[in-house]
Structures are given as C-alpha cells and as structure tokens.
Amino acid sequence: MPKVFYTQPDGTERAVEGAVGDSVMQTAVRNGVSGVLGQCEGVLSCATCHVFLHERNAEDFPPISEDENEMLDCTAVDRQDTSRLSCQLPLAEGQHVHVTIPKAQL
C-alpha cells in the first residue's frame, strides 16, 4: 500500500496510507489533509492542489505535461523547481511519497 507524507508549511508532517491508482490530491482530500483543496477534483483546471514534491520522488512520476506546466503558472504561491499539481501524481504499490504543502492555495 502506498503512503504519502504531507509536510505542512509549519513543518508538521502527517503520513496517510493511500490506494494504488489514487492521486496524491485524492488521498489528501479523502483524509482531510489541510492545505490541499483540489477544487476541480483533479481535472487539471485549477491549481489548488499545488505541492512541492520531494526531489527523491521526482523520478517516481511522469514528467510534467504541458497543461500541468501552464496551470503551475497560476499557483497562489510562486512555483519552485519541485512544484507539481498533486492531482497529477498517481500512487503505485509500495510507494512512499513526500510532499510539502505551500502556505496558500488561493
């Protein structure tokens, strides 16, 4: 079973078990993780699930698509090199994913 470690802007961390095939965003929303809104429910039409993906997990996911790249220009907090939309990060069996949630999504 995959596990996602969500680090809040204040440094507190919460580990949540996810389901294979669900996204990092779906896992956060279903488990009430603060700071991941997912207002568009994962259809890549908002940027309210913006996270900073830990560098060690970068190779675990497909590269940023052109659409995701454009949406990342619309985030409330300036994007960084490790910025991703968590709706575009599907979980795989046995995966341990570490993300940091930005200070704001809106």
- Tell me if 2 sits within 8 A of 96, measured CB to CB: yes
- The ranges assigned to domains in the chain are 3-100
Q: Where are the alpha helices (DSSP H) in 1-106?
A: 24-30, 66-72
pLDDT below 70 — which residues of the chain? Answer: none
User: What is the reported pLDDT for 79?
Assistant: 96
Only one residue has tokens 């507190």, namely 12
Only one residue has tokens 């993780």, namely 33
Residues 27, 22: Cα–Cα separation, whole Å = 7
pTM above 0.85, yes or no: yes
User: What is the reported pLDDT for 74?
Assistant: 94
- Tell me if 74 sits within 8 A of 62, measured CB to CB: no
The arrangement of secondary structure in 3-100, i.e. its CATH architecture, is Roll (3.10)
Residues 106, 59: Cα–Cα separation, whole Å = 28
